[in-house]
Amino acid sequence: MKTKKVLAVASRGGHFIQLMRLKPLLDRYETTYVSNQAMSGLPRFVRVTDANLDSKARLLLLFCQLLVTCVRVRPDIIISTGAAPGFFALLIGKCIGSRTIWLDSIANAEELSLSGQKVRKYADLWLTQWQELATVDGPEYKGRVL
């Protein structure tokens, strides 16, 4: 049986920490990690540029880096815990036929993150870590990554 390929994507800091808390589950698959945080010790890791809405040129570079990564890895599943790299990865993943999962950051207790709001149409599974933010139309609440 073929092992599923997973692309696990997160911005640095809390987003990446939460993604790493899913590592025991992700280790069951052929997982490639993507982040703008320097990381060593992962067998498959791609570092991308750090970008946000204040840096349009770097956002374009980030999109191109994720496009190349997605085409090269051809993941069956893309999962992200947030921010710009995850948004672009899910958008690209949807175009190449990957299943996509968005897990909005636990830091967003009052409202969904901007990326979390915008990713809704690209996420096959759209999750929040706050029960109060779950709605009938999504995102769903299935628990927290603590």
Q: Which residue has the higher pLDDT, 114 or 5?
A: 5
Q: Which of 110, 111, 92, 109 lies closest to 100 in space, CA to CA?
A: 92
Confidence bin at 112 (pLDDT 50/70/90): low
Which residue range is the domain that position 46 belongs to?
Answer: 5-141
Q: How far apart are CA 9 and CA 24, in angstroms?
A: 15
Quick one: average pLDDT of 56-79? Answer: 97
Residue 83 lies in a domain: yes
pTM for this one?
A: 0.90
Q: Which residues contact 106 (CB under 8 A, 6 or more apart)?
A: 14, 18, 129, 130, 144, 145, 146
**pLDDT higher than 60, residue 146:** no
Of 127 and 137, more confident: 127
Contact 119, 132 (CB under 8 A): no
State how many domains the chain has. Answer: 1
The CATH number covering residue 69 comes to: 3.40.50.2000
pLDDT at position 51, please?
A: 93
Q: Is residue 58 part of a domain?
A: yes
Identify the pLDDT of residue 2. Answer: 73
Residues 18, 14: Cα–Cα separation, whole Å: 6
Q: Is residue 146 part of a domain?
A: no
Alpha-carbon distance of 65 to 93, in angstroms, equals 13
Residues 98, 94, 123, 107: is their CA dihedral positive or negative? positive
For residues 69 and 7, the answer to whether their CB atoms sit within 8 Å is yes
